[in-house]
A and B are shown apart, each in its own frame.
Chain A
Amino acid sequence: MNKIKYVLPALKTEIIKMKNTLGVWTTLIFPFLVVFMNFMIFYNRPKLLSEGGANPWLSVTQNAVSIYSILFLPLYIAIITFYINFNEHKSNSWRQLYTLPVTKVNIYFSKLFVSFILICVSMLFFYFANQTTLLLLKAFRPEIPFYQDSYDSLIRITFIKIVISSIGILSIQFLISIWSGNFIYPLGFGLTATFTGIFLVRWERMVYYPYSYPFIAATDLMKKNYSFFNRNLLLSIIAFAVFAAAGYYFHNKGKVK
């Protein structure tokens, strides 16, 4: 209980430390970039949605979340987890931090939690930006058949599933970032793992590859799968628990330089 008392201060300070960093900007830039490109594609080629009987609400969203979940989201996680730990590595401030009345467990999990909050903020922004795109297309491209069911609750559930299925990646990237202050390791690994995920996209065993989990969650949109809990989410939660615990173990055992 005593340790929990220090969670809020730890969270507040982590948020302060993220000020003026590229990590914070990518929270908004990545979703905006994807949504903007998506809008430009369908604005210029409305026929893609008006022919073949596709539901435009789902097709536009599916197009955005697919590319975001397989490429941008894993990279975004690699960037923010890097920044949240790089702040300490760069200024060599781990030891200064541990001369304050705070425990290692609080520091570790508050950093992890702030990373998760940033993912949520990013996905929330992505959701609203995507909804705006849909409304703009509806307003400016009347030939697109937006009169069909908007599947709003399915879209919302899918976004939540993407967030939860990303926590496996979060814990892996976090472990590497807290272990090494050299940007090559976390960003290099994140990049490699993300591209590997793209190559594995058609492989049936990708269900065991954490960097594919957000994409698998995104495919539930077109399958019109409303069910919340599935194997994908469970595996992501297990991966999170394993790698977060391992990361804390190594961080706790490590010597403060």
Chain B
Amino acid sequence: MDYIIQTNELDYSFGQFKALNKVSVKVKEGAVYGFVGPNGAGKSTAIRTLLGLYRVNAGKVFLFGKDIRKEKIEILKQVGALVETPSHYDHLSGRDNLRIAQIYHGAGKKRINDVLEIAGLSKEADKKVSAYSLGMKQRLAIAWALIAEPRLLVLDEPTNGLDPYGIKEIRELLAFLNKESRTTILISSHILSELERFITDIGIINKGELIFQGSLPELYDISINKLVIDTDEAGRLMDVLGRMNYMPEKESEFSVRISVKNKGEIIQLTRSLVNNNVPFYGLRNEQKTLEEIFFDLTNKQGAEDEQN
């Protein structure tokens, strides 16, 4: 499969500190890839290596199948980027700021009005950026990134510092771009609940290592979930589950909760209960939120590191 972004075992160090350890990111065309991890996990460093701002110690970065070190300019013509906090020229108007990006990308002047409208800044376009609110600055940063009508948007924490209303606006804007223009988006954030609502794929990074990468259903599938079984015979069900090496918890007189690892296990369990003639009339999968899965994975990695 051709990927819009593909990195091969990236290593990057700040002196003795290893910020990235064999990170291999793969992003498909048209995907909204959420890049999540706690603060200091290596998200921003990874994004900077993707954009060619940092030279990696080992590994390679390919965007659109091209090596960023060899064809950086050609690649960046098709990329819109926001690297952490929005960096604007405060003494200039929003329009003049966008003019800078427009000139470098060789886009038409009309495109400035288009992106101002997309970002909802048409009315404030000629005000100095120093008079903008943080939300407006974030939207201007996204407008800047959109100037070239990019195939790929790389956004590092674009909702940082925004209130819930501002976050919703940015989320809706990105979802619209992905849907209407098929723009591939890589977005990093530590606000997991926000990403869960519109990403298609996810990469979880912790301590410089990519500990999970795949689609959201794949992540939910491998994560440990709770299954609630409704029955009129809770005692008997608990005996049978105990014999099957589960550790059942009695939720009520009519329901028992157990931990399961994936969908395959639920299918197997259902067969076993039927074969053992255990009457049950309901199976409810208590899906963990992305946030809970994230903490499971990062805590698991922390525990493994301590053991080593």
A interface, CB within 8 angstroms of B:
2, 6, 9-10, 12-13, 16-17, 19-21, 87, 90-93, 95-96, 98-103, 255-256
Contact = CB atoms under 8 A, between A and B. Distances in A.
B104 A100 contact: yes
Given A90-B90, A93-B89, A100-B76, A16 B100 contact: yes
Interface in B88-135: 88-92, 96, 99-101, 103-106, 128
Contacts of B85: 92
Interface of B: 48, 51-54, 72-74, 76-77, 79, 81-83, 85, 87-92, 96, 99-101, 103-106, 128, 144, 154
B100 A99 contact: no
B87 A93 contact: yes
Contacts of A255: 54
Contacts of B53: 95, 98-99, 256
A9 B91 contact: no
Given A95-B48, A98-B53, A99-B83, A9 B89 contact: no
Contacts, number: 76
Contacts of A93: 87-89
B103 A9 contact: yes
Contact of B104 (A2, A19, A101, A256): A101
B104 A9 contact: yes
Given A92-B87, A96-B87, A103-B73, A13 B103 contact: yes
Given A16-B99, A19-B92, A101 B83 contact: no
B52 to A, nearest CB: 8
Contacts of B89: 17, 87, 91, 93
A222 to B, nearest CB: 42
A20 B154 CA distance: 31
Nearest to B96: A16
A21 B105 CA distance: 25
Contacts of B92: 16-17, 19-20
A6 B77 CA distance: 12
Among A6, A17, A101, A256, find the residue whose CB has the most chain B CB atoms closer than 10 A: A101
A106 to B, nearest CB: 10
